Structure 1
Amino acid sequence: MLEEVRITGLGVIDDALLELSPGFTALTGETGAGKTMVVTGLGLLFGGRADPSRVRPGEQRAAVEGRLRTEPSGKVARQVEEAGGELDEDGTLVLTRSVSAEGRSRAFAGGRSVPVSLLTYLADDLVAVHGQSDQQQLLKPGRQREALDKYAGAELAVVLGDYQRTFQRHRKVHEELMTLTSLARSRAAEAEALRAGLTEIEKLEPEAGEEAALRAEEERLANADALHAGATVAHEALLGDPTAAMDGADAITLLGQARRALEEVRRHDAEIDGVAGRLSDAAYLVSEVAAELASYIQSIDADPARLAVVQERRAALNRLVRVYGPGGVSPYLDLPPAGGQDPAEEPDEIAAVLDWARRAAVRVADLDTDDDKIGALTEEEAALAGEVTELAARLSGLRRAAGERFGADVTAELTALAMPHARVSVQINELDEPTMHGIDDVEIRLAAHQGAPALPLHKGASGGELSRVMLAIEVVFAGADPVPTFVFDEVDAGVGGKAAVEIGRRLAKLARLAQVIVVTHLPQVAAFADNHLVVAKSSDGSVTSSGVVRLDYDARVRELSRMLAGLEDSEFGQAHAAELLALAAEQAEQL
């Protein structure tokens, strides 16, 4: 709810402060005083188009600052806080909009500079401005549907909640099903490729560390002759060949001679005794080495068949590594180099292949469940689609019934607002496919006179008529689609007499549920106001400036007298004005 609005440098307004209050506020004044400019200022405050031609001559900029009260934990407060602004300590929100003479526009919310679009967004929940040149909230199809749903009452709200929950679940299941179905072929190809890899690996039954052992065995078998010859020569050098004539002493014989030579003298000197002991150890060590060489010579043997087996096994394992090992060419389950080992050690690529196989088995098990998932999701999707269709049909039925009641109620209101031949109806068309809000396209239509076709609101009424239609709709919607503040400009254009009184009564009725600000030239309307502001103008001979004054009872009588008779000091006019105020107060109490 707006508490006050300050307008500076806008059109004929030099500096004006609107002190607003709950209920019905009437804004009056002489022609050209700037009443409509006040509405322009309110539109500017809530994101309206910034027209630099509206800046007062001689001023650098026009500015509008509004102070309003909103729920600290509500939607508007959250939006302001998300933009970096904050409410004042007393819980009020300050909005500011300015436009320079060069056309630059700035907006502030809660003390923080914000995009102008935020003010427009906030306006949806703060104010509804109805005038010939203003954007009408109820002209938006989505707003009309929302308003009709609230007008319909609790039964539709329950069905709408059930529908939206079912719709969201259906959409989620449908998207999941479409994803699985569209990927079914590629996932089947993936499963087939993984199974082929697993079969290949299982057929070879590789073991971790096997490649290193095979490589060592291949090296030994490939060089068996050279190893046999080298070991034989070494063995003969150490121990000699008992089957051949010795051309010279072997190492064992020479060591024996040396050991025996020292045995005879070692007791005479401790130093030579130590040398003799080490020589004896050397003789034993050489004897052991000679025995090992003899055994090795017996074991080493060229085996071409075994060499071929080893080489074939290594080739098969290398094929696995190239495809399924680190950096392999398999398009699935790429693995990094095997970890968990000493970086100085050669990586065990077979271990990586076995790791691929373990992961592939898990992935295949997951892929194998796709058919079951698709079957289950298909059944669930079909069931949810049926529920969506059923609930959407129930929504449509409730909306159509509410639309008929709404059209009749608004038409009755228009009859009392000097539009006796106007007819309002709600057109509900079925959409091509369901949305989050159902299958209905809701549009309020107006036939302005007998024989006229029912057209959308913005096409079926003139500016003055549209304001009265909006008033009738707002009265009917009162309590169903409320915003904190309604602003009406020229709502009484082209009417007078009893119709003017009815407009005043309906504005007063609407003001029981929301703040209502009305620019009016009719005393019958202004008399119903709880708060009366007058736009006063003065002239210094060159520039007209306007301000806004809040009227007490006596001042209201004078202003209403001016509006009635054109003479605020007329006793007859003042008596008529006082009578009008009394009658309006009496009727307002009966609302």
Structure 2
Amino acid sequence: MLAALHLRDFVIVRELDLDFQAGLTVLTGETGAGKSILIDALGLLLGDRSDAGVVRHGAERAELSAEFMCEALSGVTDWLIEQGLSEDCAPLIIRRVIDANGKSRSFINGSPVTLSQLKGVGEFLVDIHGQHAHQSLLRHDAQRDLLDAYAGTTQVARDTAKKYQVWHTLAQQLNDAEQNAERFETERERLQWQIDEVAALNMQEGEWPELQLDHKRLHHAAGLIDGVQEGLMALSDGDDNCQSWLATAAHRLSQLADFDPSINDTLELIAGAEAQLAESVSALRLYADRLELDPERLSEVESRLDAIYKMGRKYRIDPSQLLSQLQEWQARLAELGGAEGLDALRKQVLAAESAYRKLATSLSKSRTSAAQKLSQLVTEQMQVLALSGSRCEVVLQPLTHPAAYGLEQVELQVANHPASPLRPMAKVASGGELSRISLALQVVTSQVANVPTLIFDEVDVGIGGRVAEIVGRLLSELGQSRQVLCITHLPQVAACGVQHLQVAKQQGKEGVISSIAVLSHEARIEEIARMLGGLDITETTRQHAAEMLA
């Protein structure tokens, strides 16, 4: 659950520290006070894109951090390990800093992370239902995503889309090839003989630079032999050599050391030089033993270099790039169907289509089963939300042609009365009804989700009276199993919270500043009375507010 939130210089917040409780927390305040700031901050902490506009005017940067307690969420621990991050979830701390130029840095448990990683961990922690969710539910893609989330098939749907893309790409290649069969065949044949010719060289990785080194050594073998012998003569084998000079000097100085011990320091240096000289002589003798004049090997190397060089010149490729070019040709030939040509490409298209349809069919079965259950549960919730006699059905309409998202279109259909036929939700529901249907959908889908914290941002728009009380109780019941945060303008909903936060806005020397305070019981009575009666709060209004809280 969300345990704490800290904001500094964020939009119109100078500094804010909030601790959160389990259960239902309500957030209220006058219009324009900045109630959505909390949602915006959490959105940024969970991967939303930012800009310089979120930094409070006059500040250098905005700092946001949230603390989550998620020891019981094994998925978070596994994800952290997979990402190479600290797996400590007690607590899990997410931090983000945005400077006045719009540049952003993000951290999880102190380690730098990307926005995609913030989004990744956020999927385990928080589910935000925005105040315009009922509007997005009019779109087919949003309805489909909602069903997949409820069915637990979101990843299957993504995999299906990938399979479709592979099939679609191969089918396009086949179509191009069939329309340009002559050009296709010409290119395939050209690639094949190019590959055969270069492959016949049997070039090995790193062979070209090794051949060049071997050629240089073999070509200068005579000079190397003479030079090494001269070196050995000077160092040890000649009548007048370095080793004898050093030995003579060391012997003479050792005699003088009897008169002045400080000469021993110099003798130690000479002894080191003698050791290094001996090692040099030994290494040079080993090298001399390996040196030989080998005209036959030299001829082989020159012949091999010449063959590779001519092949590179023929194709205007640096000899060192021949192997990589061969691999590119082989990859392109595989795209064109390999040695079998169009027949092989047709087989690839059929295999890709089969893989797609197999996964898409499995997805359809899961969606069908989940759609029946979701329709029933949402219809039951609609009765609770004073939509008596109405029903909602998740309809799966088969597509004429397969699509990336599957074999069917998902559509939410609603009937306002028992005798009314089902029709698309956009053509039936009014604004208030749409809000209630959206809330019913969100409550039902949230109950099966593993996310511990649910946030509702004014999803009660267009609701009032008795229905508002029902919505408050519904959110309160949801708060018994989850942590629920709800921004609301309804006193009936606000009265159901176990924690009540009030947003206020003041004009100060630094401009408009927004603050959020945790209300005591007495302060809650005043706030709910304000929500009931506006600016003119009477004792009767306060009594009514106290009764609602009770």
* TM-score interval, normalised by the smaller of the two chains: 0.5 to 0.7
**Which range moves more in the overlay, 16-25 or 392-401?**
392-401
Alignment correspondent of 2:424: 454
When the two structures are aligned, how many residues end up with a matched partner? 426
Structure 1 stretches of 5 or more lacking a match?
196-329, 353-369, 583-591
Q: Find the partner of 2:105 among 104, 107, 130.
A: 107
Return the offset for 1:89.
7.3
Structure 1's 386 and 537: CA in aligned 2 closer, same or farther, altered over 3 A? closer
Alignment correspondent of 2:440: 472
1:527 aligns with 2:495: yes
Structure 2 stretches of 5 or more lacking a match?
219-292, 305-337
Return the offset for 1:548.
1.9
Alignment correspondent of 2:333: none
Structure 1's 375 and 114: CA in aligned 2 closer, same or farther, altered over 3 A? closer
1:131 partner letter? G
Contact 1:427 1:445 (C-alpha < 8 Å) held by counterparts: no
1:104 partner letter? G
Structure 1's 80 and 504: CA in aligned 2 closer, same or farther, altered over 3 A? farther
SS of 1:35's partner is coil
Give the Cα–Cα distance (whole angstroms) in 1 for the partners of residues 48 and 193 of structure 2. 63
1:516 partner letter? V
Deviations 1:424-477 (A, max 9, x none): 644544373475x743343546789999962679x9875x76654432212121
Return the offset for 1:422.
8.3
Give the Cα–Cα distance (whole angstroms) in 1 for the partners of residues 498 and 439 of structure 2. 18
SS of 2:496's partner is coil
1:17 aligns with 2:17: yes
Alignment correspondent of 1:74: 75
Return the offset for 1:117.
5.1
Contact 1:2 1:68 (C-alpha < 8 Å) held by counterparts: yes
Contact 1:536 1:548 (C-alpha < 8 Å) held by counterparts: yes
2:377 partner letter? D
Deviations 1:177-215 (A, max 9, x none): x9xx999999999999999xxxxxxxxxxxxxxxxxxxx
Return the offset for 1:499.
0.6
Q: Find the partner of 2:470 among 502, 512, 526.
A: 502
Alignment correspondent of 2:42: 42
Alignment correspondent of 1:430: 399
Structure 1's 480 and 89: CA in aligned 2 closer, same or farther, altered over 3 A? closer
Alignment correspondent of 1:298: none
Alignment of structure 1 residues 103-502 onto 2, 5 Å: 103-110=101-108, 111-116=110-115, 118-120=117-119, 122-132=121-131, 144-145=143-144, 147-149=146-148, 151-152=150-151, 330=197, 332-335=199-202, 343-345=294-296, 389=357, 392-393=360-361, 395-400=363-368, 402-414=370-382, 416-417=384-385, 425-430=394-399, 432-433=401-402, 438-444=406-412, 454=424, 468-502=436-470
Contact 2:472 2:492 (C-alpha < 8 Å) held by counterparts: yes
1:432 partner letter? H
SS of 2:401's partner is strand
Contact 1:475 1:509 (C-alpha < 8 Å) held by counterparts: no
TM-score, structure 1 normalization? 0.54
Contact 2:476 2:496 (C-alpha < 8 Å) held by counterparts: yes
Aligned-pair identity (%): 32
Deviations 1:218-245 (A, max 9, x none): xxxxxxxxxxxxxxxxxxxxxxxxxxxx
2:22 partner letter? P
Contact 1:443 1:456 (C-alpha < 8 Å) held by counterparts: no
Give the Cα–Cα distance (whole angstroms) in 2 for the partners of residues 418 and 385 of structure 1. 47
Deviations 1:345-388 (A, max 9, x none): 27679xx9xxxxxxxxxxxxxxxxx999x999999997996786
Give the Cα–Cα distance (whole angstroms) in 2 for the partners of residues 135 and 49 of structure 1. 23
Give the Cα–Cα distance (whole angstroms) in 1 for the partners of residues 368 and 51 of structure 2. 42
Give the Cα–Cα distance (whole angstroms) in 1 for the partners of residues 149 and 4 of structure 2. 30
Structure 1's 542 and 114: CA in aligned 2 closer, same or farther, altered over 3 A? closer
Deviations 1:22-58 (A, max 9, x none): 2211012234433233333333333445465554444
Return the offset for 1:517.
1.0
Give the Cα–Cα distance (whole angstroms) in 1 for the partners of residues 518 and 127 of structure 2. 23
SS of 2:462's partner is coil
Return the offset for 1:497.
1.4
Contact 2:61 2:99 (C-alpha < 8 Å) held by counterparts: yes
Return the offset for 1:97.
4.3
Structure 1's 3 and 395: CA in aligned 2 closer, same or farther, altered over 3 A? same
Contact 2:2 2:66 (C-alpha < 8 Å) held by counterparts: yes
Q: CA RMSD in A?
A: 5.8
Alignment correspondent of 2:5: 5
TM-score, structure 2 normalization? 0.57
Alignment correspondent of 2:27: 27
Return the offset for 1:519.
0.8
Contact 2:413 2:423 (C-alpha < 8 Å) held by counterparts: no
Give the Cα–Cα distance (whole angstroms) in 2 for the partners of residues 32 and 398 of structure 1. 44
Structure 1's 80 and 33: CA in aligned 2 closer, same or farther, altered over 3 A? farther
Structure 1's 27 and 121: CA in aligned 2 closer, same or farther, altered over 3 A? same
Contact 1:144 1:444 (C-alpha < 8 Å) held by counterparts: yes
Alignment correspondent of 1:288: none
Give the Cα–Cα distance (whole angstroms) in 2 for the partners of residues 543 and 488 of structure 1. 29
Give the Cα–Cα distance (whole angstroms) in 1 for the partners of residues 40 and 190 of structure 2. 66
Give the Cα–Cα distance (whole angstroms) in 2 for the partners of residues 91 and 7 of structure 1. 18
1:559 partner letter? E
Deviations 1:118-141 (A, max 9, x none): 444544443333334689997897
Structure 1's 376 and 557: CA in aligned 2 closer, same or farther, altered over 3 A? same
